[in-house]
Amino acid sequence: MSPLLYLTQQTINALAIGSLYALVSIGLSLIFGILRMANFAHGDMMMVGAFATLLLVHAGVPFGVAVVGGVLIGALAGALVERIAYRPVRGSSDVTLLLTSLAVTYILENLGILIFTSSPQNFPLPALLDDVVSMFDGQLIFTRINVLTLAATGVALLFLGWFVTRTTMGLGMRAAAEDLGAANIVGLDVNRLIIVAFVLASGFAGLAGVLWAAQSGVVEPAMGFTPLLKAFIAAIIGGFGSIPGAVLGGFLLGALETMIVAFLPSSITPYRDAIVFALLIAFLLFRPAGILRVQGEAKL
Amino acid sequence: MTLLRRELLLGLAASLALMGAALAADPIRIAAPFNVTGGLSSLDAPALNGAKLKVAEINAAGGVLGRPLELEVFDTKSDATTVASVASQLVGGGKLAAGIGFTDSDSALALGPIFQKAGIPFVTPGATSPKLPDQVGDTMFLACFGDNVQAAAGAEFVRDQLKAKQVFLLRDNSAEYTTLLAKYFEAAYVKAGGTIIGHDDYKSGDKSLTAQITKIKAMATKPDAIYIAANPDDIGLVVKQFRQAGVMQPIIGGDGYDTPLLLSVGGKGANDVYFSTHAYMAADGTKPIQAFIKAYNAANKTDPENAFAALGYDTVALVADAIKRAGSDDPAKVKEALAATKGLEGITGTISFRPGVRVPDKTATIIGVKDEKLFLAAQVTPSFVPAP
């Protein structure tokens, strides 16, 4: 394999994993931007979306329709969590918010275990999506799911970009991100804004859950944990609360993880996660606002 | 009125008599913590079902020392913290003759010290770390071979039967089981005259191994085979991604592959995969295995999912045999009797413990996958076994 092909293949690998991280990170940043709250339950919306899709597929619904259903159910679950658990504690101290969102994630995960058991279950993919695209005599390969994930991230970013700059609701969200209290005073329906933000964020999480399950082949109640952790890292690198920052952070993290394995000797690759977390600490120390966000300026 | 009173008295007497009978046949209690849910459930749940089956058979035949066996079952959820709290609960909850449980070394390590302190012997059906008994103490026993044996059997199979001269070694670095397995494989394979042409790592929970696979594809010297020390919940995905990338060399691994997920998630990617495990559980297996499959199916409405079902069955046989020879359910006596086990015929092989070694010498079964179906590839008793 020529060095150029090798680099290209590793770049494809990085994009494939990075786009998943980015998709999870977008929703996390949207909520943080408005509420200043680290929503740990975000990973569980992935689980809800993936399981809902699986149940619909088992019920005989065509795959595409099942995915749409799964995403909608994920979005609905997000709205319910906001209404039931987060709204009563809105404006409380950071510790209260953190503990509430941890409690929600425990409840949802254990609910998942009660209903589905914590054993991994096979996630069936239609052959069309499972297919491999192969070029240069099989030296360059990627799966249709990789392409779909990348496209979904692109569409999500464009849609959110349009939404927060061109619609009244989106502009309201940015106002709320700027100053929640002031947005309330000037007559914005803050409750409605926040519900919509949760619907959007959780819908993206649901979609990311389906794509994550499709790539890994299994669904399980704890499936949201690893991607949530990665999405937090991505959001911090890119700038927590900034949507373009979340996407940038997701791709950077994917690239970093892939390139460490691709170009460093195998005596160092076991320390991949240590390197990533060291970088995370460095960011928190020297550039806590991330790459894109300049403190106190444009949010979302 | 008097009649009613007499009937009441009669009833009371009858129930007292029943209680007396129950007291006479006071059950012998055996702790049974298993990871019935979570990442290890595809191995632990069959092991527990196998154990329950043997207990039912023993009790139907009159029990041990005239008393029925009773399993105290707890789900430890594939979580080390839960394992430790369940262990304390079990030890503090009334008399136990022994304990059985787990198919992975990490759970057994979390429980071991608590049972060791209480002096209750614990036999694991499927935790295969040969270091385990010495790490925990004289109460910990294995009913299965150690990882050094299965890795050595895998190495000899790769070298002699697959004729692979050079192997790439990939391991999941997040668990004791996989890191040890990789270490033993390397020692045995090099001893057998093979060359390891590269190493790499991944971590359970990473759902993408594409970077590692691309690296292997780009190597100047191609491996003849790839040994992957993997955990059960990842293996289907691992083989699938290798095959999707066009890497078609045989993939070999340990008993972590012995899960239905290998075929259900791996699909046709699982072809040309080989793994060492404890028994070949199929209709064309040995006579005792065939009988076991029939009984297991009758009890669970499904065929045994993998060899861990048979190991669970043998583990109860091992403990029951020790209680019988000890002539008592006193844990200290059961422990001594266990250590003195000689030539116990199980369905996964014969179990004997050499003095001071609480890991039995058993033969490893190598299973292969062809046309998305399992087949018996070899039975290997390795000529060289790396030190634990």
pLDDT tens string B339-383: 999 999 999 988 999 898 999 989 899 999 999 999 999 999 898
What one-character DSSP code corresponds to residue B328? S
Q: Tell me if chain A has a CB within 8 Å of the CB of B222.
A: no
Give the Cα separation of A237 and A291 in Å (integer). 6
- Supply the pLDDT for residue A284: 86
Asked whether the beta carbons of residue A117 and residue B37 sit closer than 8 angstroms, the reply is yes
Q: Which residue of A has its CA nearest to B246?
A: A138
- Hey, CA dihedral for B22, B329, B288, B301, is it positive or negative? positive
- Supply the pLDDT for residue B146: 93
State the DSSP string of B356-370.
T--S---PEEEEEEE
pLDDT tens string B232-272: 888 999 999 999 899 999 999 999 998 888 998 898 899 99
> Which residue of A2, A5, A6, A9 is the best one to mutate when testing the B interface, meaning the one whose CB has the most B CBs within 10 A?
A9
Chain B residue numbers touching A212 (CB-CB < 8 A): 207
- Supply the pLDDT for residue B93: 87
Give the Cα separation of B210 and B136 in Å (integer). 38
Contact call for residues A162 and A245 (beta carbons, < 8 A): no
Strand partners, B374: B369
In terms of Cα–Cα distance, which of B45, B145, B59 is closest to B101? B45
- Supply the pLDDT for residue B14: 52
Q: Tell me if chain A has a CB within 8 Å of the CB of B354.
A: no
Q: Tell me if chain B has a CB within 8 Å of the CB of A149.
A: no
Asked whether the beta carbons of residue B39 and residue A220 sit closer than 8 angstroms, the reply is yes
Give the contacts of A238 (CB within 8 A, at least 6 positions apart).
Answer: A25, A29, A244, A245, A246, A247, A248, A249, A250, A252, A290, A291, A292, A293
Give the contacts of B66 (CB within 8 A, at least 6 positions apart).
Answer: B25
In order along its 300 residues, chain A shows pLDDT tens digits of 788 889 999 999 999 999 999 999 999 999 988 888 889 999 999 999 999 999 999 999 999 999 999 999 999 999 999 999 999 998 888 899 999 999 999 999 889 888 887 678 888 888 777 788 888 887 888 888 888 889 988 998 899 889 988 998 889 888 888 888 888 898 888 888 899 999 999 999 999 999 999 888 889 888 888 899 999 999 988 888 888 889 999 999 999 999 999 988 888 888 888 998 998 898 888 888 888 765 555 566
- Rounded to a whole number of angstroms, the CA Rg of chain B reads 23
State the DSSP string of A83-140.
IIIIGGGTTS-HHHHHHHHHHHHHHHHHHHHHHH-SS-EE----HHHH-EEEETTTTE
pLDDT tier at B148, thresholds 50, 70, 90: very high
Helix (H) or strand (E) holding B344: strand B344-346
Contact call for residues B102 and B125 (beta carbons, < 8 A): yes
In terms of Cα–Cα distance, which of B218, B242, B221, B241 is closest to B164? B221
State the DSSP string of A175-194.
HHHH-HHHHHHTT--HHHHH
Contact call for residues B255 and B126 (beta carbons, < 8 A): yes
In terms of Cα–Cα distance, which of B227, B209, B213, B210 is closest to B167? B227
Residue B99 dihedral angles phi and psi, to the nearest 5°: -135, 150
- Supply the pLDDT for residue B168: 96
Amino acid at A93: S
Contact call for residues B100 and B30 (beta carbons, < 8 A): yes
Instruction: Give the closest of A139, A216, A220 to B237, CB-based.
Output: A216
Helix (H) or strand (E) holding B170: strand B166-172
- Supply the pLDDT for residue B6: 54
- Supply the pLDDT for residue A293: 65
- Supply the pLDDT for residue B20: 44
Chain B residue numbers touching A116 (CB-CB < 8 A): none
Looking at the complex, report in whole angstroms how far the Cα of residue B341 sits from the nearest Cα belonging to chain A: 35
Asked whether the beta carbons of residue B203 and residue A273 sit closer than 8 angstroms, the reply is yes
Q: Lowest mean pLDDT of B109-113, B204-208, B288-292, name the range.
A: B204-208
Is A59 exposed, middle or buried (CB count within 10 Å of its CB: 0-12, 13-18, 19+)? exposed
Is B61 exposed, middle or buried (CB count within 10 Å of its CB: 0-12, 13-18, 19+)? exposed
For residues B213-221, average pLDDT: 91
The single residue listed with the structure tokens 């083989």 is B239
Give the Cα separation of A195 and A83 in Å (integer). 8
Q: Tell me if chain B has a CB within 8 Å of the CB of A8.
A: no
The single residue listed with the structure tokens 């190991």 is B311
Cα→Cα distances A107→A5, A222, B83, B110, Å = 47, 12, 21, 25
Ordered by where they begin, the domains of chain B are 23-145+284-357 (3.40.50.2300), 148-277+366-380 (3.40.50.2300)
Q: Tell me if chain A has a CB within 8 Å of the CB of B171.
A: no
Count of H-run helices and E-run strands, chain A: 12, 4
Token duo for residue B29: 């209690």
For chain A, the domains span 22-224
Asked whether the beta carbons of residue B201 and residue A113 sit closer than 8 angstroms, the reply is no
More confidently predicted of B227 and B20: B227
Q: Tell me if chain A has a CB within 8 Å of the CB of B244.
A: yes
Chain A residue numbers touching B245 (CB-CB < 8 A): 141
- Supply the pLDDT for residue B5: 54
Token duo for residue A76: 């609905």
Looking at the complex, report in whole angstroms how far the Cα of residue B169 sits from the nearest Cα belonging to chain A: 11
State the DSSP string of B233-279.
HHHHHHHHHHHHTT--S-EEE-GGG-STHHHHHHGGGGTTEEEEES-
In terms of Cα–Cα distance, which of A194, A223, A189 is closest to A206? A223
In terms of Cα–Cα distance, which of A265, A204, A261, A178 is closest to A27? A204
Per the rule left: phi > 0, alpha: psi between -120 and 50, beta: everything else, B295 is alpha
Q: Which residue of B has its CA nearest to A121?
A: B261
Contact call for residues B142 and B124 (beta carbons, < 8 A): yes
Instruction: Give the closest of B208, B236, B261 to A17, CB-based.
Output: B208
- Supply the pLDDT for residue A279: 87
Give the Cα separation of A104 and A87 in Å (integer). 13
- Supply the pLDDT for residue B13: 52
- B10: pLDDT strictly greater than 80: no
What one-character DSSP code corresponds to residue A264? S
Helix (H) or strand (E) holding A149: helix A144-166
Which runs of consecutive H residues, i.e. helices, occur in chain B? 2-24, 41-60, 80-91, 105-118, 132-136, 147-156, 176-191, 210-217, 232-244, 261-266, 287-300, 307-326, 331-339
pLDDT tens string B115-133: 999 999 999 999 999 999 9
The single residue listed with the structure tokens 């409605």 is A192
Asked whether the beta carbons of residue A1 and residue B233 sit closer than 8 angstroms, the reply is no
Give the Cα separation of B180 and B275 in Å (integer). 16
Asked whether the beta carbons of residue A217 and residue B214 sit closer than 8 angstroms, the reply is no
Residue A241 dihedral angles phi and psi, to the nearest 5°: 100, -5
In terms of Cα–Cα distance, which of B232, B234, B228, B238 is closest to B256? B232
- B19: pLDDT strictly greater than 80: no
Chain B residue numbers touching A109 (CB-CB < 8 A): none
